[in-house]
Amino acid sequence: MISAFALSSPAVQAADGFSYANEKFADIQMLRYKVEGFEQLTLQQKTLIYYLSEAALYGRDILFDQNGAYNLRIRKMLETVYTDYQGSRESKDFKALTEYLKRVWFSNGIHHHYGSEKFVPGFSQTFFRNALKSVDRKKLPLEQGQTVDRLCDEIFPVIFDPAVYPMRVNQKDGEDLIQTSGENYYGRGITQAEVEDFYAGMRKTGDERPVMYGLNSRLVKENGRLVEKKWTTTGLYAEAISRIVANLKKALPFAESEAQKAVIGKLIDFYVSGDLKDFDAYSILWVQNTDDLVDFTNGFIEVYGDPLGFKGSWEGFANFKDLATTARTETLSRNAQWFEDHSPVDPRFKKKECKGISAKVINAAILAGDLYPSSAIGINLPNSNWIRKEYGSKSVTIGNLTDAYNKAAHGNGFDEEFIYGSDIKALIKQYGDLCDDLHTDLHECLGHGSGKMLPGVSDDSLKAYGSTIEEARADLFALYYLADGKLVELGLTPTPDAYKSQYYTYMLNGLMTQLVRIKPGNTIEEAHMRNRALIARWVYEHGKADNVVELFKQKNKTYMRINDYGKLRTLFAQLLAEIQRVKSTGDYKGARQLVENYGVKVDGALHKELLQRYKKLNISPYKGFINPVYTAVKDSRGNIKDVRISYTETYEHQMLRYSADYGTLPYINK
């Protein structure tokens, strides 16, 4: 489970000369993150990170293909024109193609990475067809005997026709979410009801340790029957997974402990077998391995990209512990039972014993797959409920990414435009970054790890609403406890009023400013955005009688004011209790009502106003990262004697290099 993303800003250079912000295009600004402390690691640790990074980067094509069956071909067509086109590179069409390609790179496909809607090309079909005909046909993704014109006839509707795959992940209530989504987790002709029935039939009554059915496969029809195509070293995506495994094997000798070797070895077993029991065994070993400095994730993890929440998108991530700041999260994890015991939820849904909850602040070393270029700032895994119950969970706050976001956000004019009142502005300036970090820590470390399911309630009982409800549950847990005196007692907040900075910015975002990410006329689709809207609108509506939170006009601009922070916390507690009940009991109807009533709809007039105000600030609403480059320095025998890190690679060069060096899959993966 991952936490959400931040807003973007103008270029910022640190005092040491490190440039955090880079180029901007469309609605995106690229940032760099600094891997503080890498040079001080041992050669063994550097080498381990190097091979884990290589294993991560080799999974790139998997996510492209998961996000859409045509994405790899489209990317290759665009890249070939971009690198080889001999016509005017200053023409309107070519510039539009360049921006479109950058968006495809960023989103790992032709749909927006966050909103999920398909991009609208700014170049013409005629231009693209002629450009493709002008380049070397050997560099195009042509099938045997296929002409360029036939390739265009097949692919162009996917790119240019707004009615073809308009959404990668459709979440509209009342529609068949499988047949109306453009992702590539399910074969053609399969319905939502068929998918739900297929996986319901796999569950065994009374199984208290179920695997996450469907996590590592594409579901297709063969001879009228549904069949899973597993993602393994010998199955679907074999070419990429074999490279991943090869680098995991190279990493093994440099593991920091026998426990870490066991983790890597069991992950290799899973990639070979495709058996989800092997994945559970790997997850158990991984969550128990908390002592080593270097850590990683690699595999089919999060299910946000599947409208029904079964299929895991591929991601890779290498990191190492930030020892200086981890003390904050360790304090929370040591007190996990206190927080669980004092939670405002029904005692039936509380854990009597919080097991294995570990938390740390880390430095990202490489981002890949579904964590790249746009990344979360916190992660809590594993997602299996029974493993979390019996073995606990591992929570991380990604410190160097948070630092980059914060440095890029300061001074962009956002606070001056949307925050009303000098007192709250001063509070946010003083405590905003600290409370943002604490909210992430509480969300990931304790929120996702809190509560329990009642016996017999399946993990997918909330269906398409499961991800939104889970994120809302973790956010509410964090919001409730941010205002608790326990944080002051533990030395995590310096003053009892510091939490107000987070309450204000969270409510402002949920009620208003996150809407700048949505196109006029659209509803809210993404799970994290739905979660924030659900919380903010529910407490706003339920606090109206007492004027707890107020929206008001000043010089024709809408602002928000919190009039009673204590009552707002009480409302957060009430909603947390209800959402925990929905989760614990598998109340699908209750989940549907909460999400559809509070988390989806958009006030058109307010939305228009916010977009106009935001546009004047010239801020990109989305951020993404350019990875550092690791170079292995080898001796005459081929042994690594050092690993060097650099931050000079441009976004364009990195994307083209990744396609050339890590592009291992066929253009069509059946």
Pair (200, 169) in one structural domain: no
Q: Are 585 and 607 within one domain?
A: yes
Identify the residue whose tokens are 């964590």: 371
Q: In what order do the strands lie in the sheet with 21-25?
A: 21-25, 28-32, 622-626
Confidence of residue 15 (pLDDT cuts 50, 70, 90): very low
Residue 10 predicted with pLDDT over 80: no
Helix (H/G/I), strand (E/B), else coil: 291: coil
Beta-carbon-side half-sphere exposure of residue 82 (alpha carbons within 13 Å)? 20
Using alpha carbons, select from 623, 561, 272, 608 the residue that is nearest to residue 422.
561
What CA–CA distances, in Å, run from 309 to 134, 342, 388, 658?
43, 31, 18, 29
Same domain, 209 and 107: no
pLDDT at residue 59, rounded to an integer? 98
Q: Which amino acid is at 530?
A: R
Q: What is the mean pLDDT of residues 621-629?
A: 96
Q: Nearest to residue 644, comparing CAs of 635, 652, 632?
A: 632
Q: Which phi and psi (to 5°) does residue 8 adopt?
A: -105, 180
Q: Tell me how far apart the alpha carbons of residues 168 and 40 are, in angstroms, rounded to a whole number.
A: 42
What is the C-alpha separation between 146 and 143, in angstroms, rounded?
Answer: 5
Cβ(464)–Cβ(418) below 8 Å = no
Inter-axis angle of helices 466-482 and 422-441, to 10 degrees? 120
Residue 325 has pLDDT above 60, yes or no: yes
pLDDT band at 2 (very low <50, low <70, confident <90, very high): low
Quick one: which H or E segment has residue 461?
Answer: none
Whether 118 and 200 map to the same domain: the answer is: no
Contact 35, 217 (CB under 8 A): no
Residue found under tokens 């409800």: 469
- Spatial distance between the Cα atoms of 637 and 517, rounded to a whole number of angstroms: 52
Give dist(CA 518, CA 511) in Å, integer.
Answer: 13
Q: Is residue 493 part of a domain?
A: yes
Residue 524 covered by a domain: yes
In a domain, 219, yes or no: yes
* Structure tokens, 20: 């955090």
Asked if residue 384 lies in contact with residue 280, where contact means CB atoms within 8 angstroms, the answer is: yes
Residues of the domain holding 563: 410-617
Q: Is 601 part of any domain?
A: yes
Query: Tokens at residue 116, please?
Result: 């999920």
**Does pLDDT of 1 surpass 70?**
no
Do 170 and 213 lie in one domain? The reply is: no
Mean pLDDT value across residues 5-11? 37
> What distance in Å separates the CA atoms of residue 526 and residue 473, rounded to the nearest whole number?
16
Residue 295, strand partner residues: 319
CB atoms near residue 656 (< 10 Å): 16
pLDDT, average across residues 584-605: 98
List the beta bridge partners of residue 625.
31
State the Cα–Cα distance between residues 418 and 428, nearest whole angstrom.
13
Rounded CA separation 278/172 (Å): 35
Q: Is residue 460 part of a domain?
A: yes
Average pLDDT taken over every residue of the chain: 95
Asked whether residue 315 is domain-assigned, the answer is no
Q: Which two tokens stand for residue 212?
A: 């996450």
Choose among 55, 37, 5, 50: nearest CA to 321.
37
Percentage above 70 pLDDT, the chain: 97
Q: Distance of CA 129 to CAs 93, 151, 263, Å?
A: 12, 10, 49
117 plus 217 within the same structural domain:
no
Over 50: is that where the pLDDT of 5 sits? no
Are 90 and 206 members of one domain? no
**Confidence class of residue 208 from pLDDT cuts 50, 70 and 90?**
confident
> Which whole number is the average pLDDT over 538-567?
98
pLDDT at 149: 98
| Residues 91-112, mean pLDDT to the nearest whole number | 98
Q: Cα-flanking dihedrals φ and ψ of residue 632, to 5°? A: -85, 120
* H, E, C per residue of 578-641: HHHHHHHHCCHHHHHHHHHHHCCCCCHHHHHHHHHHHHHHCCCCEEEEECCEEEEEECCCCCEE
What does the pLDDT average to over 303-314? 96
What pLDDT is recorded for position 16?
Answer: 53
Q: Based on the domain organization, do 164 and 220 belong to the same domain? A: no
* Tokens of residue 144, six digits: 């045997």
Domain contains 570: yes
Of 74-78, 316-320, 355-359, 602-606, minimum mean pLDDT range: 355-359
Residue 560, beta-bridge partner list: 551
Q: What is the rounded distance in angstroms from the CA atom of residue 590 to the CA atom of residue 574?
A: 15
Q: How far apart are the first and last CA of the chain?
A: 29
The answer to whether 446 and 336 are in contact (CB under 8 A) is: yes
**Per-residue pLDDT for 7 more than 80?**
no
Q: Are both 462 and 591 inside the same structural domain?
A: yes
What CA–CA distance (Å, rounded) separates 328 from 325? 6
- 505-to-103, 158, 528, 540 alpha-carbon distances in Å: 29, 39, 16, 14
- How many CB atoms are closer than 10 A to CB 342? 12
Report how far residue 231's alpha carbon sits from residue 210's, in angstroms, rounded to the nearest whole number: 19
**Pairing of β 358-369 and β 314-321:** antiparallel
Report if residue 543 sits inside a domain: yes
CB neighbour list of residue 167: distance below 8 Å, 6 or more residues apart: 111, 116, 117, 118, 180, 181, 182, 525
Q: Which two tokens mark 590? A: 């209750």
Domain match, 82 and 218 both: no
Domain identity same for 432 and 554: yes
CA-closest candidate to residue 616, choices 413, 362, 392 = 413
Number of domains in the chain: 3
For residues 532 and 429, membership in a common domain is answered with: yes
Q: What is the pLDDT of residue 313?
A: 98
Q: Tell me 143's DSSP state.
A: P
What three-state secondary structure class fits 319?
Answer: strand
Cβ(256)–Cβ(266) below 8 Å: no
| Share in percent of the chain as helix, strand, coil (round to 5) | 50, 15, 35
Phi-psi group of 411: left, alpha or beta (phi > 0 → left; psi -120 to 50 → alpha; rest → beta) = left
Mean pLDDT of 240-259: 98
Read off the pLDDT of each residue in 503-509 and give the average, rounded to a whole number.
Answer: 98
Tell me the C-alpha to C-alpha distance, in Å, between residue 196 and each of 171, 177, 181, 214, 593.
15, 11, 15, 11, 20
Max CA pair span of the chain: 76
Of 242-256, 405-419, 517-531, which gets the smallest average pLDDT? 405-419
**Model pLDDT, residue 482:** 98
Q: Please say whether the beta carbons of 325 and 368 come within 8 A.
A: no
Cα separation, 341 vs 337, in Å, equals 6
Bridge-based pairing of strands 394-398 and 314-321 is: unpaired
Q: Are 94 and 134 in contact (CB under 8 A)?
A: no
Of 355 and 162, the one with more pLDDT:
162
- For residue 3, what pLDDT is reported? 52
Per-residue pLDDT tens over the stretch 340-351: 999 999 999 999
CA–CA dist 158, 155 (Å, integer): 5
- Point out which residues pair with 263 in neighbouring strands: none
Single residue among 574, 601, 617 that ends a domain in this structure: 617
Question: Which strands form 294-300's sheet, in the order they lie side by side?
Answer: 294-300, 314-321, 358-369, 394-398, 378-381
Whose CA is closest to 44, among 367, 398, 366, 292? Answer: 292
**Whole-angstrom distance, CA of residue 418 vs CA of residue 437:** 22
Distance CA 87, CA 97 (A): 13
Provide the pLDDT for residue 357: 84
Q: Which residues pair with 218 in a beta bridge?
A: 229
